Amino acid sequence: MNLFNLLIDHINQIGAIALFIIGLYTVITHNHLIKRVFGINIMGTAVFLFFVSIGYVKEGVVPIYGNEEAVYVNPLPSVLILTGIVVVVSITVYALGLVVKIYEGYGTLDQVEISEKMSEAMRDD
Amino acid sequence: MIEQIPLINLLILVTTALFMPLIRKFDFRYTKVLGLVSFLAVFILSIISFYDVYTNGMFYYHLGGHAPFIGIEFRIDAFSSFFTLFIGFMMLLYYIYAVRYMFHEIKGKQHNRYYTIVFLLVFASFGLIYTNDLFNTYVFIEIMSITACAIISIVRKKQNYSAAFRYLVLNEIGSLSYLFGVALIYMITGYTNIELVAQALEEGYLLYPANVFIAMAFMVVGLSIKAAIFPLHIWLPDAHSTAPIPSHAILSAVVLKVNLIVLIKLLYRVFGVQILLDLHMNTVLIVLGILSMIMGSFFALAQKDIKRILAYSSVAQVGYIVLGIGFLTELGLYAGLFHIVSHGIMKSTLFLSAGMIIYHTGVRNTKKYQGFVHILPITITLMSIATLSMIGIPGTSGFISKFNLAMASLDENMGYIIIFIVLSGLLNAMYYLPMIITSILDNHESNMMHYEVDKIPKTMLIPVMVLGALILVIGFYPQSITFFIEAATDALIGGV
């Protein structure tokens, strides 16, 4: 029962770590380039979830000044993560742009095939 | 006025980046002048800033006047002002070189795009050095990782796109691991400001040792990917060797080094020597450093392409710096910081002279360098100086670096590390010397007819000559820069 309560209390952190591992696994094991971009996005979401959940206070309210009785949620992590989201979006856009160009050049999105074609080109030099 | 200099530097860089695409309709002359003026301004302001820190001591700059625990804080001390000065100086030389060289790689309106990206990259690296805030570091790191990939993919070839994509993916794993570490630290301390975090961690480490350990693991691994420390260097050879020469020099002498500087700041300022010793980080870093030194050189042995040799050699040289940092003593840190400067200078000489060879003859295979000393005498001379320095011949800056590292390892009673330093020097000799021997001794008559060489452009020659002269100056008079490095070391160790 104790373990169960522990799990329930830290469900956001456990979820974040699980997502992080799923993302990392996707990036490392998949050869498909777009799936790698997905993996990065999942990893990013995991970190953001973790960061935001640090600032959460049980039964806290939105930190708008005026409601003096209430307990506020810590706004700083949310503010920081807004920046983080923007950054990951721009990374995704750039990565997808590169994927389009790679597909135009090699005609495939599979990392293994691309590596083979690259090493062939190097041998020809 | 003087305390505003860091912000003025950043603003100059970012506004130049903004104006670059706007003036691309006009003559290329304007672009050249704009870039040169702003790099010169940044360089001069950095000198003034360093002089001011030297006479009046370090100070903090609060962006927007907010208190450190809610706002962003810049710390301007001997460490940050010296390394911004160094990067400003190197970028000025690269820019003078690149303006001519890049015509060889890209054409037309792309030049302005290229310089936009370069200025944003320098902006990010200045920010990373100045900032005293963990989250702000993350933002600058991301700007740097996008721009570092973009200076590779600026050349429109498919292998560049592929290399840039791989670099981007690994960079991103690194940045997100770093951010995870920041989250864990924020969880314990409730701050992102480096000094407040360091104070809170003294107590926090006793209460939550596991959190601190995991945070450190995430952050160190993340930054090791970016700094290409041995097992995590796999992105580097492709990314660096496909990049055009000026980008290659920037990637190796600025991007790798700034990531190492962030790592140094993290280890010494945030965690502090006591916690690191407690978690045996010194052993980890020393082993990683030695592995990088040896393995990087081994991989380089198998290469023929000059750019791939130089790329693998960067892995080896990063190993020296990590080894220096890893001693966790003042002497070790001093040796590491010295090698950041010395490697930056000698590697740039090699890159830029290799670039001149590619510019004139198009040859990248070092086996075909026969008799090049007759065609490009000055280039090969400079390249030989840099090569001797990489091997560590006395009278060059590379020797002083190795000497410092050896002193640091003797000081820690780990004299056996000197064996690895010497071994790595021998391996360096094995892959650098053949190239020089071929170009000087192997006189191939037909080659001299084969390549029509015009006069070398002065704007390309002068930066390399300045760098080559600096190698010798540092080699014979190491006092000329030891003063700066000592000030930087004091600022790091004594500051906390």
The dihedral sign for the CA sequence B422, B428, B434, B440: negative
Radius of gyration of chain B (CA): 22
Tell me which residue of B13, B234, B151 sits closest to A28, measured CA to CA.
B234
Which among B173, B182, B365 has CB closest to A24?
Answer: B173
B365 to chain A: closest CA residue? A125
CA distance B268 to B320: 18
Work out how many CB contacts closer than 8 A connect A with B: 80
Q: What is the pLDDT of residue A19?
A: 92
Q: What is the pLDDT of residue B6?
A: 86
SS (H, E, C) chain B: CHHHHHHHHHHHHHHHHHHHHHHHHCCHHHHHHHHHHHHHHHHHHHHHHHHHHHHHCCEEEEHHHCCCCCCCEEEECHHHHHHHHHHHHHHHHHHHHHHHHHHHCCCCCHHHHHHHHHHHHHHHHHHHHHECEHHHHHHHHHHHHHHHHHHHHCCCCHHHHHHHHHHHHHHHHHHHHHHHHHHHHHHHHCCCEHHHHHHHHHHHHHHCHHHHHHHHHHHHHHHHHHHCCHHHCCCHHHHHHHCCHHHHHHHHHHHHHHHHHHHHHHHHHHHHHHHHHHCCHHHHHHHHHHHHHHHHHHHHHCCCEHHHHHHHHHHHHHHHHHHHHHCCCHHHHHHHHHHHHHHHHHHHHHHHHHHHHHHHHCCCEHHHCCCHHHHCHHHHHHHHHHHHHHHCCCCCHHHHHHHHHHHHHHHCCCCCHHHHHHHHHHHHHHHHHHHHHHHHHCCCHHHHHHCCCCCCCHHHHHHHHHHHHHHHHHHHCCHHHHHHHHHHHHHHHCCC
Contacts of A98 in chain B (CB under 8 A): 149, 153, 161, 164-165, 168
Q: Which residues pair with A61 in a beta bridge?
A: A72
CA B222 to chain A, closest CA, distance in angstroms equals: 13
**Cβ partners under 8 Å of residue B361, min gap 6:** B372, B375, B451, B453
Tokens for B263?
A: 């790592």
Which among A50, A54, A102 has CB closest to B161?
Answer: A102
CA distance B67 to B44: 30
CA distance A84 to B440: 53
Q: Report CB contact under 8 Å: B173, A83.
A: no
Q: Report CB contact under 8 Å: A102, B158.
A: yes
Contacts of B145 in chain A (CB under 8 A): 91
CA distance B182 to B192: 8
Identify the segments of chain A with pLDDT beneath 50: none
CA A13 to chain B, closest CA, distance in angstroms equals: 11
Q: What is the pLDDT of residue B451?
A: 66
Contacts of A19 in chain B (CB under 8 A): none
Whichever domain contains A116, its CATH number is: 1.10.287.3510
CA B187 to chain CA mean position, Å:
32
Instruction: Output B51-58 pairs: Cβ under 8 A, ≥24 positions apart.
Output: B52/B2, B52/B5, B53/B77, B53/B78, B53/B81, B54/B78, B54/B487, B58/B491, B58/B495
Q: Are B101 and B464 in contact (CB under 8 A)?
A: no
pLDDT in tens, B66-116: 888 788 889 888 889 999 999 999 999 999 988 888 887 777 778 888 899
ipTM, interface predicted TM-score of the complex: 0.92
Q: Report CB contact under 8 Å: B168, A91.
A: yes
Q: Report CB contact under 8 Å: A27, B173.
A: yes
CA A58 to chain B, closest CA, distance in angstroms equals: 16
Tell me which residue of B193, B69, B139, B120 sits closest to A81, measured CA to CA.
B139
Q: Are B339 and B323 in contact (CB under 8 A)?
A: no
Contacts of A92 in chain B (CB under 8 A): none
Contacts of B149 in chain A (CB under 8 A): 94, 98
Buried b (16+ CB within 10 A) or exposed e, B340-358: bbbbbbbbbbbbbbbbbbb
- Give the 3-state secondary structure of residue A70: coil
Amino acid at B411: D
Which domain does A72 fall in, by range? Answer: 2-124
CA distance B194 to B270: 6
Q: Are B310 and B248 in contact (CB under 8 A)?
A: yes
Q: What is the pLDDT of residue B494?
A: 66
The dihedral sign for the CA sequence B56, B59, B63, B64: negative
pTM exceeds 0.80 for this model: yes
Distance in angstroms between the alpha carbons of the first and the last residue of chain B: 27
Question: Taking the CB of residue A113, how many other CB atoms lie within 10 A of it?
Answer: 13
Q: What is the pLDDT of residue B495?
A: 46
Q: Report CB contact under 8 Å: B173, A101.
A: no
Q: What is the pLDDT of residue A107?
A: 86
Identify the segments of chain B with pLDDT beneath 70: 444-454, 494-496
CA distance B246 to B95: 8
A125 to chain B: closest CA residue? B365
**Burial of A107: CB neighbours in 10 Å, binned 0-12, 13-18, 19+:** exposed
Question: What are the two backbone dihedrals, phi and then psi, of residue B59, each rounded to the nearest 5 degrees?
Answer: -150, 165
How many folded domains does chain A comprise?
A: 1
CA distance B292 to B290: 5
CA distance B9 to B1: 12
Which among B135, B161, B187 has CB closest to A105?
Answer: B161
Tell me which residue of B327, B305, B303, B300 sits closest to B316, measured CA to CA.
B300
Q: Report CB contact under 8 Å: B164, A98.
A: yes
> What is the bridge-based pairing of β-strands B73-76 and B59-62?
antiparallel
Question: Taking the CB of residue B155, how many other CB atoms lie within 10 A of it?
Answer: 19
pLDDT in tens, B358-371: 888 877 887 777 77
Contacts of A73 in chain B (CB under 8 A): none
